[in-house]
Amino acid sequence: MEMLSSFIVLADISGYTHFTKMHKLSLLHAEYIITELLERIIDGAENPLALMEIEGDCAYFSAVSDNSPQMAQDIFGQAERLFDVFNEREQELIRCAT
């Protein structure tokens, strides 16, 4: 059996339960928000990252490594951009709610 190195990226929306309780959101509204945020994260991921699973408020991505420093830098840069797309969508939702 061949051993392969891989990258794993977990995009978990920490504090989601606290957020919904703090803002007294209905369950329906909360589900809409989490869906919107996760969809934006998923749409922001690019090759070689592949979506493996969605579990609650977490999207799990992986990529088989080519063991190059460039690929590691690309994956890290992509993870940073996922924060940006998340924050952009969060701000759009906040503007819509006010």
Look at residue 93 in the predicted model and tell me its pLDDT.
Answer: 82
Give dist(CA 89, CA 13) in Å, integer. 13
Residue 32 included in any domain: yes
| pLDDT computed for residue 72 by the predictor | 95
What residues make up the domain containing 27? 6-97
Cα separation, 83 vs 24, in Å, equals 25
Tally of structural domains, the chain: 1
CATH number at residue 63: 3.30.70.270
**Which helix (H) or strand (E) covers residue 62, if one does?**
strand 58-64
Tokens 């994260």 correspond to 41
In a domain, 1, yes or no: no
Q: Residue 20 domain-assigned? A: yes
Cα–Cα dist 53/66, whole Å: 22
Instruction: Give pTM, 2 decimals.
Output: 0.80
Confidence (pLDDT) at 52: 97
pLDDT at 33: 82
Those residues whose C-beta lies under 8 Å from the C-beta of residue 5, and which sit 6 or more positions away, are 64, 65, 67
CB-CB contact of 25 with 43 (8 Å): no
Please, which residues bridge with residue 8 across strands?
62
